[in-house]
Amino acid sequence: MSYAKQMLDTTPSSFEFDAAALAECIAACFDCAQACSACADACLGEEMVAELRKCIRLDLDCADVCAATGRVLSRQTAYDATITTAVLTACAAACKACGDECASHAQMHDHCRICAEACRRCAQACNALLGQS
């Protein structure tokens, strides 16, 4: 069981989402943030770094959006649907853009393949929560 699920199980507040789906989304956001940060770093280590400029930028943007989304989702007391919907939508969009870019480099760079997978998982988790709101 993830820490996110354990924390949700102990919160005195009720929340709008299925607890398992919410915990999965929180974990997916933080996993994706880490994967994107690591992918950007790995891209910087590649010989063809200039060709990876867009990938690096999207990795860094996606990492920031995912980390922020994971933090917002972790706070369910006095829930605000407007903010949650906005961050989930932004996160899904950032993950799609980053995942698409990383997928275009996946045959040449394993770190991009792994990052694209993390982005797809996170986008799916965000979209699943959006479907519950």
pLDDT in tens, 4-42: 888 888 888 777 788 899 999 999 999 999 999 999 999
pLDDT in tens, 51-82: 999 999 999 999 999 999 999 999 988 888 99
What is the tally of structural domains in the chain?
1
Look up the domain containing 114 and give its range. 3-10+17-132
* Residues making up the chain, counted from first to last: 133
Shortest CA distance to 89 belongs to which of 105, 112, 73, 110? 73
pTM score: 0.93
Question: 28-46: buried (b, 16+ CB within 10 Å) or exposed (e) per residue?
Answer: bbbbbbebbbbbbebbeeb
Alpha helix positions (H), the chain: 3-10, 19-45, 53-74, 81-105, 110-132
Which CATH number is 70's domain given?
1.20.1270.360
